[in-house]
Chain A
Amino acid sequence: MRLLAEGLSARRGEDLIFNDISFALSAGEALVVTGPNGSGKSTLLRVLAGLLIAESGSLKLENGPPEMRHPSEISHYLGHRNAMKRELTVAENLSFWKDFMGDSQGGAGKGLAEAVEAVGLPGIAHLPFGYLSAGQQRRMAMAKLLVAYRPIWILDEPTAALDAGADKLFAGLVNAHLDRGGIVVAATHQPLGLERTRELRMTGFAGVGGGMWHDA
């Protein structure tokens, strides 16, 4: 499986946010998108997740499932918002997403208890999501990545609101996903402690190329 982006550019309203971004990611590789605030990291991730239509360029998946229309169908997207309901318990939230999303072919999601264990918060799945602290909420949102299998993970500032221990735990989860042949695209300000990463540095739109990328 190979994720190919060629000459992507995106616009919000009148302004071009970034221009001519290209990269290629094979199974087991991670792309870390860095750059100052407003340089278009989140916009790029939303384009990759199919939530924003690219102004130009193409996004392709080689050797993906044949009936797939857009790579977003086999992607997880963890945005700034956790996509969990405050009124429902953590277990209800996770089991809903597990049922609703289902597994992409080639893998199986973890069980609820196992996923909650993996993010280091066993024993609080019966609480309403709204009762948890910001960091706990973020961790439970990560558990969502585990309950339904998706080969591609698109993560927008995944470690915001997390303590140092949770950072390490999260790096472990992402590395395990990469070991299984997954692809990860993450926007971040902090180093994530990942192996095998490539870096895409967004420089903000300055008229010429919107970003450059190199192996870290």
Chain B
Amino acid sequence: MIALFFRDLKLSIRAGGGAMIGVLFFMTVVAVIPFGVGPDLNLLARIGPAILWIGALLASLLGLDRLFQAEREDGSLDLMLMQETPLLVTVFVKCAAHWAATGLPLVIAAPLLGLFMNMDELAIGATMLTLLVGTPAITLIGAVGAAVAVSLPRGGLLVSILVLPLAIPVLIFGVSAVYAAIEDPAPFLPPLMILMAITLFFAVIGPVAAAAALRHASD
């Protein structure tokens, strides 16, 4: 299983792997916002956390459709389905590798982009923390969509549409936790805990559902 994790990591870094696509998209989206909104620093600081979160959500959805499709196209998925190792473990490890390759760079890039949005240290820290906690949930939800659309040649947009409604709670609680951290009266901990709960919930449900979908898609 460790072999699978490092193989997927290696694949995402090699040519055509797409690890950088997500983070580049994230940077592009967030970097153009100040030009569109204009030089109102207070406004930028106020919408900054929400923009970072929306950018991260869209960037996480970008490469998801290839999660299982690439394995299916070269026949690797067949072998993974045959093994004694439960498929849901394989799916979970693939999700972990996918997050490490595409989700983690978003968390790391967030502080730089936070400066673009005139956010202070506290807001940047809170955004990083919520992204760290919340983006794995997007990958895990996305794995289900990717498994359902595995046999569709152009499933990219379909995966995003399938996944987006389920990912909305992650966005809501992620952004509200950041605002709770920077605006005094609201408590920070409850939305963060709910965000963690969502991630843990989908860490259980996601691989099970994705494994079931993959089994039925094989023919």
Contacts and interface: CB of A to CB of B under 8 A. Distances in A.
A83 interface: yes
Contacts of B80: 100
Contacts of A179: none
B75 A50 contact: no
Contacts of A12: 219
Contacts of B1: 100
Contacts of A86: 74
Contacts, number: 69
B79 A101 contact: yes
Contact of B82 (A50, A80, A82, A87): A50
B76 A85 contact: yes
B166 to A, nearest CB: 28
A114 to B, nearest CB: 19
Contacts of B218: 51-52
A49 interface: yes
B75 A49 contact: no
Interface in B1-50: 1-4, 7, 10-11, 14-17
Contacts of A88: 7, 10-11, 14
Contacts of A87: 11, 14-17
A179 B110 CA distance: 60
B81 interface: yes
A84 interface: yes
Of the four ranges (under 10, 10 to 19, 20 to 34, 35 or more), the interface on chain A belongs to 20 to 34
A171 B11 CA distance: 33
A82 B218 CA distance: 17
A73 interface: yes
A77 B79 contact: yes
A83 B7 contact: no
B82 A81 contact: no
Contacts of A50: 81-82
A81 B74 contact: yes
Contacts of A46: 219
Nearest to A52: B219
A95 interface: yes
Given A80-B75, A81-B73, A87-B17, A95 B81 contact: no
Nearest to A43: B219
A80 B74 CA distance: 9
A88 B17 CA distance: 11
B75 A79 contact: yes
B184 interface: no
Interface in A79-116: 79-88, 92, 95-97, 99-101
B74 A99 contact: no
A96 B78 contact: no
Nearest to B70: A85
12 contacts: A12-B219, A50-B81, A52-B218, A73-B84, A79-B75, A82-B74, A84-B76, A87-B11, A87-B15, A88-B11, A95-B3, A101-B83
Cβ-closest 6 pairs across A and B: A81-B75, A99-B3, A83-B75, A87-B14, A72-B82, A73-B84
Given A51-B82, A52-B218, 12 more contacts: A12-B219, A51-B81, A52-B219, A72-B82, A75-B82, A77-B82, A83-B79, A84-B76, A85-B76, A96-B4, A97-B79, A100-B80
